[in-house]
Chain A
């Protein structure tokens, strides 16, 4: 089966700055591809290329076998790639149902009487959210009043409803607590089971390992590894993600480092210092 999205040796430069170089990844239907990396590793740049906000400078980007250079988010959406950003691309003051259909509003009537199909919009929103397990009693409430996890789920439900084939999720669990993260991951898995290809961007290897089928590691804009789930254990993934040998060296340095005089040298006694 061919991949829904395939990136091969994709690079992106902002002037002289290398934001991304030689990154390859594949997304298949019914699978979750996780992109892992620290801050500044190039995750956002990668998302922006897939979502159509930026064009790549080198390498190939294929959607369902066809090579593309996306010019706008609209183009990506039309090709079935829906991106759920960290800020969720929702307008906080607008009601849930208006947000759900924003940019793709259904209308009825003709000519000057062409108007929003408000009833359809309200009912569809309620039904789609219910399908995702969110029981909102009032779709008229501003979306800003929902919890972070609920908003994330609305954004995912929206992408699923509009027939996305590929769902790109930017750090969906970054700002959430443990329980809410679990709920969101459940919906990510539900989207996968519905046959979507999912790109999950995260810096949390534990979350990634729970749901991922493939893992792509980024470091300072370059690929640091690419593994299928059977090839790698969680410990190894965590170690690579955390910087592996760099982290070990850092822990040695921390142990040996003398306390500088300016902050009191050895005279300071703090309760938790031994850690």
Chain B
């Protein structure tokens, strides 16, 4: 294998020799297949690609990719990936996590990685349930959810992962769905190209413990009315033949959905993923209700700000520009300050 770019690789090159052990029918298979066919596109050699995961069904992901990988501990993948990314700018580092891993036990690391804008790509597989521990509610489960640990319904209000990421100052925030390979890959592509933290929520079906959680977004009968596809620079329309549009009513902080023929064309909002003010992306993230009606997918926000890695690297480089031979510099350091000599 050569280090020269671009590298010609195929999906096969990214498949590891390990037997995949998710439940038959799990949405993770589709995401894995999408990733394996997408990775060759990047032209990045396998050895420079690293997947770091936490704990949970989704976190088995690294075992199935023939790159470098670490299956770490619950919730801590963003912290470990931060250390790797900061010290190894030559690597492309992906974090694979789930709704429990990233938003419950690892919530702190997620928000801090995003605010620092560490150059890592975080894929949050959201199935709104704890799968590996066999079916307890998660921090994205809807209120009232009946599970093994909430036989009379959950009293916990859920997180909205997109809103959370935006609140944490994320510079790239997107959402996609396991079953739509084309859309999934297009979002992955944009995440991979982003400098800094990229946060991608992937709606993923757990067919064992929470089957059909996102069915309304997939069923041809309902999806047109439920799903809003965001395209940068395009008017936000959805529904059969663009029957519905998103507008920003005067005097309101939020956005609204209207029938297309009820508003002037000029009132239809044009999607601007590069808007500096995160309030717009936040408003988008609040469009969908608990029933998933009006769920936007695509890139909510993609703005450029210096990554943590770059800022750290700049300071290091500036200091190293003044460095001499390391052992001589070390000797000078030890001998600095108030010293005296005994003859």
A binds B: no
